Amino acid sequence: MEGKDFSYVMRVSREGYLLHDYFGKKIAPVTYEEDERGWWCVQTQGADGACLDELRQEYPCYGHTDLRRPALSCGPAGLVLKYAGHKIFAGKPKLSGLPSALGDGAETLAVTLRDDDAKVSVDLNYTVYDDYGVLCRSAVITNEGDEKVTLDRAYSASLELPRCDLSEIHLHGSWGRERHIAENSLVPGVIDISNARGGSGHQINPFVIVKDPAATEDQGFCLGIMPVYSGNHSTEIEVDQRGRTRINSGIAPFMFEKTLGPRESFTAPECLLAAADGLGELSRSFHDFIRDRVCRGKFAHAPRPILINNWEATYMDFDEDKLLSIAKLASELGIELFVLDDGWFGKRDNDRCSLGDWVVNLKKLPSGIGGLADKINKMGLKFGLWFEPEMVSSDSDLYRAHPDWAIHSEIRSPGLGRSQLVLDLTRREVQDHVINAVNSVLDSANIEYVKWDMNRYITDMPRKGFNYEYTLGYYRVMGAIVESHPNVLFEGCSAGGGRFDAGVLCYMPQIWTSDDTDPMERVYIQYGTSMAYPPSTMGSHVTDGPNQYTHRPVSMKTRGDVALSGNFGYELDITKLPESDLEAIKAQTALCRELRETVEYGDFYRLSDPFKNNVGGWMSVSKDKAKAYVTFTKMLFKPNSWYAHIRLKGLDPAARYTDKFTRKTYMGDMLMNRGILLNFPHGDFVTNTMWLVRK
């Protein structure tokens, strides 16, 4: 199979096994039979005589003659899957209950494998697009027999590389420190890059790169793997005794189980794969694909509104007058959307109560949400609202009416996170309740934006497989609400960036990247996030200085420059700012309107790695190469430090560009080959930006 710039090659062996041959840069469509045979291995009896332990398979199973970590396992009998047929069709299949990439312009190869003895079949789907460097895989497992079959692992995709002189990169972190970059060499044995916290998690993002250890931003073998899944996920990498590398990716097998009755099927989530020459190209393949085929709806390609959110300005201590005073000033400063965050419902003056009671607090907001929205609309701003639909406080009318709706086990009271419990979204009546509760607020007022939060990990799950069922429930609830409100822009959030994944992005085209808005921390977070996700998905706001968490004092200019590299906005009490800051905000919002299309929908190039250098740098280049926004951030001032002489990327070499900030003119080839010396103002935490426009 071929997609844009890549080939994916598999073949059916003499014995009927589906073998993996190649995934990488485009090559002639030929397969070679190679002698992968070992000594001291266990072979299948009879004419077949295969030793599966030695074969690189498309969808390996454990327990017969393959004893490595499998993609699929369903109990002690062990499966032996053989090729049973294939078809090719336009588009791609919908995955039951799960989000997946759009299939316009795609072609799918569906290969059926079957174990006639165990009476289990697997349909493997491979979808390619002429215009994208991403391949979509999924797997549907069917019980074809009359007895029950219990799956204890069912990964979405498996790849077997013929080598192990490789390293892996994954994105790790915690609350306030999401998606930092870790790189490790592969060694014989198994590593499991996974998360078991209920959502996709702050700690380990569902995205892994396997690469040539020497690969750089600009060249070298790189392969990216991204399950389209928001629950407990895993990418397992095994280097085997013969120096090959098997990668399984999808739902984490830990605490997973799914029993299939006769003729029932299980659909594993989609997994996106890309192969590229260099990390930069790999990221740009994912960025284009996520923007065009994962994100959808009215806002997928629209310029994202400049917002102001009242959370860090007021927390829950506000009334209508306070909100209106912020909104009025915001409208004068060029801000386009006012977002009312937590604290507008029930009796929520602190975070110990009222989640689940999605009824406006008339003491704080006497004209209701509708009245407030109207007043804000009259000021020329759109209005948006915060929800945390999956949660319930034990001090809430909802919990008092339905204590059994909170996730709990039978033997002890559930753990509390931020004093709250998680609703059991595996239950249909709970899903329906949440859909109706949120929809009735959305239908009651002119709400044009929703921030959908999820502020704790899921504990006390009562059975194996529960997390998968929860995740499907979450998708149903979110899907129903999003689909019935096509004119609302939804932004995902989970205590900052705790659920930043392609599953969420199928419903909401942007996600709050982190609660940590200190620009120095954001340089790391946004740089790491950019490995997988485009700037159009990253919420990025200017907040108070010194920063509330780090206490680091950073200028308004630096705060603005870093935030301008994502979906721009503000989250501070602008009514308390000095005139000079208000002037700066006016200039930033005007600049954002000029450059947001380039930032949100251009090609992203990383220029200087803040994890390795004192300067973090990146640039976005418009698709027609006519414009480029370049940002370098210097962490600490060091006297007589090394000159930062940096070459830009992705420009038109023959074009003449003017930097609109300095009015200086440069040729594209000069900027990309000779490069330029970065001049930073004196001091720590400073930026050097360029807004290049082709003449």
Point out the residues that are catalytic: 453, 515
Q: How far is the CB of 205 from ligand GLA (least distance, A)?
A: 16
CB atoms closer than 10 angstroms to residue 329 = 18
Given the complex with ligand GLA, which of 453 and 469 has the nearer CB atom?
453
Taking Cα atoms as reference points, which of 3, 6, 44, 45 lies closest to residue 25?
Answer: 6
By CB under 6 A, what part of segment 566-585 binds ligand GLA? none
Among 238, 357, 453, 600, binds ligand GLA (CB under 6 A): 453
Taking Cα atoms as reference points, which of 50, 118, 47 lies closest to residue 78?
Answer: 118
Given the complex with ligand GLA, which of 357 and 453 has the nearer CB atom?
453
Helix 368-378 with 320-332: angle, nearest 10 deg: 20
Which range in 118-126, 492-500, 663-671, 680-688 contacts ligand GLA by CB under 6 A?
492-500
Q: How far is the CB of 496 from ligand GLA (least distance, A)?
A: 5
Residue 520 is a binding residue for ligand GLA (CB under 6 A): no
Residue 311 is a binding residue for ligand GLA (CB under 6 A): yes
Residue 307 is a binding residue for ligand GLA (CB under 6 A): no
Among 17, 83, 344, 386, binds ligand GLA (CB under 6 A): 386
Given the complex with ligand GLA, which of 13 and 419 has the nearer CB atom?
419
Strands 449-452 and 489-492 turn out to be: parallel
Which range in 94-102, 146-154, 330-338, 489-497 contacts ligand GLA by CB under 6 A?
489-497
Residue 178 is a binding residue for ligand GLA (CB under 6 A): no
Q: Is the peptide bond before 535 cis (omega within 30 degrees of 0)?
A: no
Residue 52 is a binding residue for ligand GLA (CB under 6 A): no
User: How far apart are alpha carbons 290 and 328 in whole angstroms?
Assistant: 35
Upper half-sphere CA count for residue 363 (Cβ side, 13 Å): 8
User: How far apart are alpha carbons 305 and 447 in whole angstroms?
Assistant: 14
Which range in 91-99, 109-117, 436-444, 491-499 contacts ligand GLA by CB under 6 A?
491-499
Given the complex with ligand GLA, which of 458 and 495 has the nearer CB atom?
495
Q: How far is the CB of 312 from ligand GLA (least distance, A)?
A: 8
3-state secondary structure of 612: coil
Given the complex with ligand GLA, which of 122 and 441 has the nearer CB atom?
441
Which range in 10-18, 111-119, 490-498, 634-642 contacts ligand GLA by CB under 6 A?
490-498
Q: Between 494 and 513, how does the x/- string for binding to ligand GLA read (CB under 6 A)?
A: -xx---------------x-
What one-letter code names the amino acid at 399? Answer: Y
Helix 579-601 with 556-563: angle, nearest 10 deg: 20
What one-letter code names the amino acid at 608? Answer: S
The residue whose two tokens read 């009896």 is: 45
Q: How far is the CB of 515 from ligand GLA (least distance, A)?
A: 5
Residue 342 is a binding residue for ligand GLA (CB under 6 A): yes
Given the complex with ligand GLA, which of 53 and 178 has the nearer CB atom?
178
Among 493, 554, 577, 648, binds ligand GLA (CB under 6 A): 493
Q: Dmax of the chain from CA atoms?
A: 85
User: How far apart are alpha carbons 268 and 248 in whole angstroms?
Assistant: 12
CB atoms closer than 10 angstroms to residue 612 = 9
Any bridge partners for residue 189, and if so which?
239
Q: Residues binding ligand GLA: what is the number (CB under 6 A)?
A: 11
Residue 240 is a binding residue for ligand GLA (CB under 6 A): no
Which range in 13-21, 295-303, 493-501, 665-673 contacts ligand GLA by CB under 6 A?
493-501
Give the N- to C-terminal CA distance of the chain in Å, as an integer: 42
- Long-range pairs for 204-207: beta carbons < 8 A, 24 or more residues apart: 204/170, 204/171, 204/172, 204/233, 205/170, 205/171, 205/172, 205/173, 205/178, 205/179, 205/500, 205/501, 205/532, 206/233, 206/235, 206/501, 206/502, 207/170, 207/171, 207/501, 207/531, 207/532
Residue nearest to ligand GLA as judged by C-beta position: 342
Which range in 63-71, 233-241, 488-496, 680-688 contacts ligand GLA by CB under 6 A?
488-496
The phi, psi pair for 645, rounded to 5°, reads -110, 110
User: How far apart are alpha carbons 316 and 411 in whole angstroms?
Assistant: 35
Residue 455 is a binding residue for ligand GLA (CB under 6 A): yes
Given the complex with ligand GLA, which of 225 and 488 has the nearer CB atom?
488
Q: Which segments of 605-682 does DSSP mark as H helices, in order?
A: 668-669
Q: How far is the CB of 255 from ligand GLA (least distance, A)?
A: 26
Given the complex with ligand GLA, which of 121 and 455 has the nearer CB atom?
455
Residue 515 is a binding residue for ligand GLA (CB under 6 A): yes
Any bridge partners for residue 541, and if so which?
569
Residue 341 is a binding residue for ligand GLA (CB under 6 A): yes
Q: Which residues bind ligand GLA (CB under 6 A)?
A: 311, 341-342, 386, 453, 455, 493, 495-496, 512, 515
